[in-house]
């Protein structure tokens, strides 16, 4: 397939997804008689197609971008445990900034958007994942302190969004709670009635009624901005040492060319150097975006240079970085197949050596 024609097809597909039409699939607020959206190879799913759930992370395996969760309900500790995997183009946010699964801890309460497995039984393919802090910052919400009962490690909060208040909520604050103030730490004695804060939730009380624990409390706006900046810096650092993820759209086997679309890294400026005429480093990755270690297990991942011979903007939908490029590699590898993932690096940078447990052995193709 010619790159120009591929670009037209991709744009038409993304444009069709963006139309304001009644979807032919079920959504959280839609017709329950419709089936849930099923993922399609080579497409970014519609923004409203994933099923939203409040969950508790039980176990996580960051290198494989996998883990287990329990959905949070009235008696969520009795709910079944579900195994999940982050999709390659999944959007993950922590502390109001782009993040990865490695940034979270077991026990964290987060909101996910997920798609069903192939058997259409469980929602195991996670498309979005974000903590309470990120959800509230995006919505402009804050929690107002309405009552303090610190002798019993309890406080009462009311969530406020656009001037509208939700029902009061009792929560636990104890030695497991970290208080952030300014660019450092605070204390629970810094809490006052009427104060507006940001919080993250975690495990709660063992006995009923169930009361959630606050794992983190941001006491002022300065501490909230500091958290965003710190998470942003961490993610940018990891992207620069691991490479930017892309999806392979097409492979020309006769005159070696790769047509690639960038997965949204969360920082548009990181894509500015991937333009026609520039050189980039290419490394094969698996579905968890892990690069493969070379024979002998020493050094960084197997990679080589490729010249960018074309670039174009594409509709920036959920999960898509908005940039498609055509690269001419020195040669084609087994992992260069449509639908699979690569990591790219600007020619002035180098892939960094990662711990062995965070790399795939050479030849272990998905």
Please report the pLDDT score of residue 206 as a whole number. Answer: 55
SS (H, E, C) 21-80: CCCCCECCCCCCCCCECCCCCCCCCCCCCCEEEEEEEEEEEHHHCEEEEEECCCCHHHCC
| Residue at which a domain ends, from 190, 210, 234 | 234
Find the length of the chain.
366
Structure confidence at residue 160 (pLDDT):
97
Q: What pLDDT, on the 0 to 100 scale, is given for residue 207? A: 59
CA distance 199 to 179: 9
Are residue 271 and residue 225 in the same domain, yes or no? no
Give the domain-ending residue among 234, 262, 292.
234
pLDDT digits (tens, 9 = 90+) for 4-28: 444 444 454 444 444 445 568 999 9
Overall average pLDDT of the 46-58 stretch = 92
Is the pLDDT at 1 greater than 50? The verdict is no
CA pair distance 359, 188, nearest whole angstrom: 42
User: What pLDDT does residue 228 have?
Assistant: 98
In this structure, the answer to whether residues 253 and 346 fall within a common structural domain is yes
Q: 307 lies in a domain?
A: yes
Residue 358 has pLDDT above 70, yes or no: yes
Say which CATH number the domain at 41 has. Answer: 2.40.50.320
For the chain, report the end-to-end CA distance as a whole number of angstroms. 24
Q: Are residues 123 and 208 in the same domain?
A: no
- Shared domain check, 113 and 74: yes
Question: Which residue would you say has higher pLDDT here, 331 or 245?
Answer: 245
Asked if residue 346 belongs to a domain, the reply is: yes
Asked which of 96, 119, 134 is the last residue of a domain, the reply is 134
Is residue 127 predicted with pLDDT exceeding 80?
A: yes
Q: What is the pLDDT of residue 328?
A: 95
Look at residue 353 and tell me whether its pLDDT is greater than 90.
no
For residue 68 the two structure tokens come to: 């287990």
126: domain range? Answer: 23-134
- Residue 329: is its pLDDT beyond 70? yes
Q: What is the mean pLDDT of the chain?
A: 87
From 263, 343, 215, select the one nearest 91 (Cα to Cα).
263
Which one is predicted more confidently, 107 or 75? 107
Residue 365: is its pLDDT beyond 50? no
Which pLDDT does position 208 carry in this prediction?
55
Residue with token string 């493969």: 292
Token duo for residue 42 = 């080579």
User: Is 4 part of any domain?
Assistant: no
At residue 222, the pLDDT reads 98
Based on the fold, state whether residues 333 and 228 are members of the same structural domain: no
Give the model's pLDDT for residue 177: 96
Share of the chain above pLDDT 70, in %: 86
- Residue at 160 is within a domain: yes
What pLDDT does residue 9 have? Answer: 46
What is the C-alpha R_g of the chain?
Answer: 22
DSSP letter at 160 equals E
Structure token pair of residue 10: 């991709």
What are the distances in angstroms from CA 348 to CA 244, 265, 268, 305, 326? 14, 19, 18, 11, 19
CB 286 within 8 A of CB 341: yes
pLDDT digits (tens, 9 = 90+) for 163-202: 999 999 999 999 999 999 999 999 999 999 999 999 999 8
> Does any domain span residue 297?
yes
> Cα angle vertex 72, ends 69, 78, to 5°?
80
Name residues whose C-beta falls within 8 Å of residue 291's C-beta, 6 or more positions apart in sequence: 242, 243, 283, 284, 285, 300, 301, 302, 303, 343, 351, 354, 359, 360
Model pTM score: 0.87
pLDDT in tens, 260-319: 999 999 999 999 999 999 999 999 888 899 887 664 444 456 788 999 999 999 999 999
For residue 138, name the pLDDT band (cuts at 50, 70, 90): very high
| Domain count of the fold of the chain | 3
CATH number of residue 265's parent domain: 2.40.30.170
Q: Please report the pLDDT score of residue 205 as a whole number.
A: 64
Contact 247, 341 (CB under 8 A): yes
């Amino acid at each position: 397939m010619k790159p120009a024609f591929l670009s037209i097809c991709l744009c038409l597909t993304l444009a069709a997804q963006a139309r304001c039409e009644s979807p032919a699939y079920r959504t959280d607020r839609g017709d329950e008689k419709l089936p849930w959206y099923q993922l399609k190879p080579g497409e970014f799913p519609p923004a409203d197609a994933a099923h939203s759930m409040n969950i508790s992370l039980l176990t996580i395996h960051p290198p494989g971008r996998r883990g287990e969760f329990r959905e949070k309900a009235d008696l969520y500790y009795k709910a079944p445990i579900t195994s999940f995997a982050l999709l390659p183009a999944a959007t993950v946010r922590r502390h109001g900034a782009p993040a990865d699964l490695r940034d979270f801890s077991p026990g964290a309460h987060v909101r996910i958007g997920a798609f069903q497995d192939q058997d259409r039984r469980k929602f195991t393919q996670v498309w979005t994942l974000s903590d309470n802090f990120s959800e509230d910052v995006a919505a402009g919400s804050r929690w107002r302190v309405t009552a303090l009962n610190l002798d019993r490690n309890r406080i009462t909060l009311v969530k406020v969004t656009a001037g509208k208040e939700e029902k009061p909520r009792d929560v636990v604050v104890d030695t497991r709670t970290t208080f952030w103030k300014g660019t450092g730490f605070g204390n629970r004695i810094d809490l006052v009635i009427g104060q507006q804060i940001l919080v993250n939730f975690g495990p709660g009380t063992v006995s009923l009624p169930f009361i959630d624990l606050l794992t983190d409390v941001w006491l002022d706006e300065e501490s909230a901005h500091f958290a965003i900046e710190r998470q942003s810096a961490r993610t940018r650092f990891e992207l620069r040492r691991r490479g930017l993820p892309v999806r392979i759209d097409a492979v020309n086997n006769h005159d070696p060319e790769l047509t690639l679309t960038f997965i949204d890294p969360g920082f548009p400026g990181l894509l500015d150097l991937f333009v026609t005429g520039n050189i980039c480093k290419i490394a094969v990755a698996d579905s968890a975006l892990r690069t493969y270690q070379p024979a002998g297990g020493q050094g960084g991942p197997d990679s080589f240079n490729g010249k960018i011979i074309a670039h174009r903007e594409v509709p920036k939908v959920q999960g898509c970085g908005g940039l498609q490029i055509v690269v001419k590699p020195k040669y084609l590898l087994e992992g260069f197949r449509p639908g699979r993932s690569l990591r790219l690096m600007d020619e002035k940078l180098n892939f960094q050596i990662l711990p062995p447990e965070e790399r795939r052995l050479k030849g272990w193709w998905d």
